[in-house]
Structure 1
Amino acid sequence: MISVTEWQKIGVGTTGFGIFFILFGVFLYFDSVLLAFGNRHKLKGTGFFLGGVVIVLLRWPLLGMFLETYGFFNLFRGFFPVAFGFLGNAFNIPFLSALFQGLQGTSSMV
């Protein structure tokens, strides 16, 4: 028989929980009711983005990419102020401010 230590039992248990929750999340992601509920107010952006993908597949890449870009900006229009606000405040975070200061000094081309 193979002896299993307590740490191995804990590892198997946490791995099992992780796999269960990943699969549960994937199942919920593909639930049509949740998808429709989450995208109900973003149908215009979703339509333009998916329409752009179809146009690219129909060999009109430039037009398709413009449609995808327009759809992307419509889908994530509410997220952009949050992202730019975080980038504006990133210099106040201790670890990131030290990283930015370190990167500032290494920008010489010589």
Structure 2
Amino acid sequence: MVGFEMNDRRKIGIGLTGFGVLFTFLGIIFFFDKGLLAMGNILFVAGVMLTIGMKSTVSFFLKPRNYKGSILFGAGFCLVIFGWAVVGMIIEAYGFILLFSGFWPTVVVFLYRVPVLGRLLQQPFLMSFFDRFTRTERRVPV
């Protein structure tokens, strides 16, 4: 796959991922509502699969360096589905952090380039926080 071509499948995947994050957020706001959290998890995973493809998703979760994060994310996912929402979300959040910690520098650099949000994030107190994640990535010329 060369580049990141935006076709209809990827657009739907990004939408499902966004709805998954929204439902998860609402589930947490509404005191760990099991239904909203389960729906958010299912939509998030389905959205990731549609966005990057089934083969890439499976290979990402099954990489040897991602085993611990994948197992914790999957265990938390199952616990949320079976009704242990608080414990499941704690385990799932830790697995999510382990799985996606390599993407934080890219996300922070992207957020710095968003027109309005970038100016807000470039405040000194926030930059010192975000610079921990992007020590070398911010110095690369574009």
TM superposition score normalised by structure 1:
0.49
Q: Which has the larger radius of gyration?
A: 1
